[in-house]
Amino acid sequence: MDEQKLAMNRRRFIAGLSAAGVGSTLMPGALAAVAQDADEITVEMLEAAQRIAGLRFTPDELEAVLGRLNRSGGNTAAYETLRAANLGNSTQPALVFNPVPPGMTLPTERRPMRRQEMTVSMPATDAELAFLPLSHLARLVETRQVKPSELTELYLARLKQYNPILHCVVSFTEELARRQARQADEEIAAGTYRGPLHGIPWGAKDLLAVRGTKTTWGASPYKDRTIDTDATVYSRLTDAGAILIAKLSMGALASGDRWFGGRTRNPWNTEQGSSGSSAGPGSSTAAGLVGFSIGTETRGSIMSPSTRNGVTGLRPTFGRVSRYGAMALSWSMDKIGPMCRAAEDCALVFDAIQGPDGRDNTVLDVPFNWDATADVTRLRVGYLRSGVEDDIEDDPENPQRVARQRQNLANTRAALEAIRGLGVQVAPFDLPDLPTQAISFILGTEAAAAFDVPTLNAQLDSMRAEPEESRWPDSFRASRFVPAVEYLQAQRVRMRIIEEVHEALGDFDLFFGSNVGLTNLTGHPEISLPNGFFQGSPTSLRLTGKLFGEAEILLLAHAYQAATDHHLQHPTL
């Protein structure tokens, strides 16, 4: 090979291979430095590749690798076959992540749901009605004090009134909503009541496919796209009688609160974004624009907007809720959960959407037994010592951040005392120091595979501009340089981490505290609920449960909310 061609190939590897998207998952290093029209791989290319991957093979070892990669064209023909397979975003991988550590026994007993008994009277104003928790709305519908069609028109009107301020709606589903509301009116009038979600208007994060509606994923390349399928979560909520009134905003491709329609706002402080990526569900639920909403989390996308907007959000155990018909970002980390105004609301919605559907092969058949009347004092509760006992250090360069952290800590300590006041025994414990940051590239690697084709053809590059300002295109390209061997090693380390967390939790049912970087890798459930305020904006209490321990964290959250009123506060718009 002449020097000019060699230099050209070297430049392709160093500067342009990520854009070309040609790679080898079998070579030691990151990607095979081969452009589609290159004659052969060179030692120089391998040397550069192993530097990216942090390897140190000797010259003799590289020569041996070189012979294997250049033999009959190496693996590049296979890679081209994979890229021609048109896998899209919805094809599941054959490898299935299971968060259950060896030896853990899953519950099998199924018991009937027991809701909180209550008597609810019709509020004096529409605004008071709009901000009622789902459990209260359900009683009003069940006792025929309000019709589903009346609730639907109320929430549609509020969405239209406040969406220009909050930017939380991608598209309204008015025709569908009114049709579903009429059906609910007729069924309830005829004595057919499906349950607590019957006749309740809700909003879906716009990564759930619904036939006849746009499903944009918050990203400009998909802003006019429809998907001819119904997500399992939508189908199950429809079967329960819930009424879809809007597809709600999300950060572009599930990151942040910026999407092609602008930036979704926090109704408590409209100068501030609502956080994300479940931006619209958090904002609209807090503002009383929907009865409840559905969000998703891969690494903080339910917890963060629930905190920012002061709503109660549940991130279930990985493998609880089918993701069929939902955008895939990370097959081993994506989770779907409810965002509501109260803990029992989350329990009612979660009960409707959880369980296998035969379409998402990660979902396990584990019972969820909600009993609002259960004895909360029987829960075995811990608290993270570092999150409660450690004081916040001064930072002269950022006094506002320090002030907020100190108020958060004060509110968490007050919540802990409130829980103790209910007769619950709470003991300190520590999580081990675990190398979660070292395996955090799992998310980006899986996301790069999920969006491989639109990355290779530069379809996503328009997302880099305002208003999205997305970093995903660069992240997807960078993830092309993750070695396949290291990805699998990271998954092996992940199982060790799961085992260590399982051992550290011991006999605890749940603990006060949060570590979203850790528990989104281990698959543990978590709930965020408001526990006070800082300068007019909500702060949150986080409870993390054992695997498949949703009933326990919801029960403690419900008991705390029965003794406090933080979740009943709402913003003035």
Give the Cα separation of 123 and 248 in Å (integer): 27
Which is the catalytic residue, given 24, 149, 205, 470? 205
Rounded to whole angstroms, the Cα distance separating 166 from 259 reads: 12
Report the candidate in 261, 273, 321, 272 with the shortest Cα–Cα distance to residue 296: 321
The residue from 275, 284, 301, 470 that is catalytic is 301
Q: 56 is written with which tokens?
A: 């140190």
CA atoms within 13 Å, Cβ hemisphere of 227: 20
Non-local (6+) Cβ contacts of 560 within 8 A are: 343, 415, 418, 419, 422, 529, 531, 541
Q: Which residue, among 353, 346, 328, has the nearest Cα to 209 in the 3D structure? A: 328
Active site residue 277: yes
| H helical segments located in 100-198 | 126-130, 134-142, 148-166, 174-189
Structure-token pair, residue 505 = 């939790």
Sign of CA dihedral 78, 79, 83, 88: positive
381 sits in the region (left: phi over 0; alpha: psi -120 to 50; else beta) called: beta
Q: Which of 149, 220, 275, 277 is catalytic?
A: 277
Q: Which long-range contacts (CB under 8 A, 24 or more apart) does 118-125 make?
A: 120/145, 121/145, 122/146
10 Å Cβ neighbour count for 26? 16
Whether 205 is a known active-site residue: answer: yes
Among this protein's residues, is 284 annotated catalytic? no
Q: Is 169 helix (H, G, I), strand (E, B) or coil?
A: strand
DSSP state for residue 116 in the 8-state scheme: P
Cis peptide before 399 (omega within 30 of 0): no
Residues annotated as catalytic (active site), given as ranges: 205, 277, 301
